């Protein structure tokens, strides 16, 4: 469905662009759809249409755009679509791959190159009050980039980025390592884009979810034994849920968060604090 024939019917609601129609993306779209019209974006047409129809059945104003966020031309088409719709107020870049879902190159491309392309493409359409949330991960806080890679990660859109990463990294590139490094890259991307968007009156923030109960999260528990150990270090002794993430994203994209930019918000139930306490040999009393 082309969005161009629906602009006159949408009224005055601001546009929220939600990248990713999986569990978390759909939860975010549902929450933002309470006071936005939603452009829901995904690479999978069937999943995209199914989620959009579900949201429409609940009275939300949703249209769709198929987009491969790792493809410059596809992202340019997305930018054109947003422009034809009159611009945007909010961007939630939720699309991402966990370690069990793909090879290291695909994970890095979707998780880091994707949001870098999207935030750059939409920059000319940023106006005062525009805001973006980029989804990172608790994993980004559990490691760090080797010193030799820090400069490389400052420009993930370089033509040779993946090849340079493979040749420069002193460790074998694995899906797990690629996931962590890609999410660290998202933290840094949000800070850099906060500067660029800020010149036009916009904001960019990253959000780092901890262990979240979702289909993707459930699959990771099956594939990665360390997830259970990580859960044991969470002070709240439970996983978060998709609605809790969506609530934080909605707040950060609202005018109530108008002075929050260039930073990361962890939504992890205190899990990072728990990990650091265990590593330091502390026992909660």
Please, what are the domains in the chain?
11-274 (3.40.50.720)
User: 63 - beta bridge partners?
Assistant: 39
The per-residue pLDDT for 227 is: 78
Asked if 91 and 114 count as a contact pair (C-beta separation under 8 A), the reply is no
Q: Which residue has the tokens 């840094």?
A: 188
Element (H, E) at 118: helix 114-122
Residue 175, both tokens: 């899906």
Q: What are the φ and ψ backbone dihedral angles of 153, each rounded to 5 degrees?
A: -75, -10
The per-residue pLDDT for 220 is: 63
Q: Is the overall model pTM greater than 0.85, yes or no?
A: yes
- SS3 per-residue string spanning 32-70: HCCCCEEEEEECCHHHHHHHHHHHHHCCCCEEEEECCCC
The per-residue pLDDT for 5 is: 45
Instruction: Report how far apart the first and last C-alpha atoms of the chain are (Å, whole number).
Output: 57
Cβ within 8 Å of residue 112, ≥6 positions away: 153, 156, 182, 185, 186, 189
Per-residue buried b or exposed e for 200-238, using 16+ beta carbons within 10 Å of the residue's own CB: eebbbbbbbbbbbebeebeebbeeeeebeebbebbeeee
The per-residue pLDDT for 284 is: 54
Reading the chain (285 residues) residue by residue, the pLDDT tens digits are 444 444 445 568 999 999 999 999 999 999 999 999 999 999 999 999 999 999 999 999 999 999 999 999 999 999 999 999 999 999 999 999 999 999 999 999 999 999 999 999 999 999 999 999 999 999 999 999 998 899 999 999 999 999 999 999 988 999 999 999 999 999 999 999 999 999 999 999 999 999 999 776 666 666 666 678 888 999 999 999 999 999 999 999 999 999 999 999 999 999 999 999 988 876 555
- List the beta strands (DSSP E) in 67-108: 90-93
Question: Concatenated DSSP letters for 206-231?
Answer: EEEE-SEESHHHHHHHHH-THHHHHH
């Amino acid at each position: 469905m082309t969005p161009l024939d629906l602009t006159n019917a949408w009224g005055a609601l601001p546009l929220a662009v939600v990248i990713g129609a999986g569990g978390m993306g759909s939860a975010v779209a549902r929450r933002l759809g309470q006071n936005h019209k939603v452009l829901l974006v995904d690479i999978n047409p069937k999943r995209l249409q199914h989620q959009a129809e579900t949201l429409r059945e609940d009275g939300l104003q949703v249209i769709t755009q198929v987009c491969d966020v790792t493809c410059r031309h596809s992202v340019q088409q997305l930018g054109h679509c947003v422009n034809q719709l009159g611009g945007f107020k909010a961007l939630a870049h939720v699309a991402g791959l966990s370690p069990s879902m793909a090879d290291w190159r695909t994970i890095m491309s979707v998780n880091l190159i994707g949001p870098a392309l999207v935030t750059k493409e939409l920059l000319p359409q940023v106006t005062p009050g525009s805001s973006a949330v980029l989804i990172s991960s608790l994993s980004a806080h559990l490691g760090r980039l080797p010193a030799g890679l820090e400069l490389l990660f400052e420009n993930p859109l370089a033509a040779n980025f993946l090849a340079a990463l493979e040749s420069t990294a002193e460790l074998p590139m694995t899906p797990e390592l690629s996931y962590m490094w890609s999410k660290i890259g998202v933290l840094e991307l949000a800070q850099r884009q906060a500067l660029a968007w800020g010149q036009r009156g916009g904001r960019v923030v990253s959000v780092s979810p901890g262990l979240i109960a979702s289909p993707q999260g459930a699959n990771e528990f099956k594939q990665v034994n360390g997830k259970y150990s990580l859960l044991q270090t969470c002070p709240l002794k439970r996983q978060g849920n998709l609605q809790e993430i969506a609530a934080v994203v909605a707040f950060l994209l609202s005018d109530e968060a108008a002075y929050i930019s260039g930073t990361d918000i962890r939504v992890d139930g205190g899990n990072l604090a728990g990990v650091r306490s265990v590593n330091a040999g502390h026992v909660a009393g």
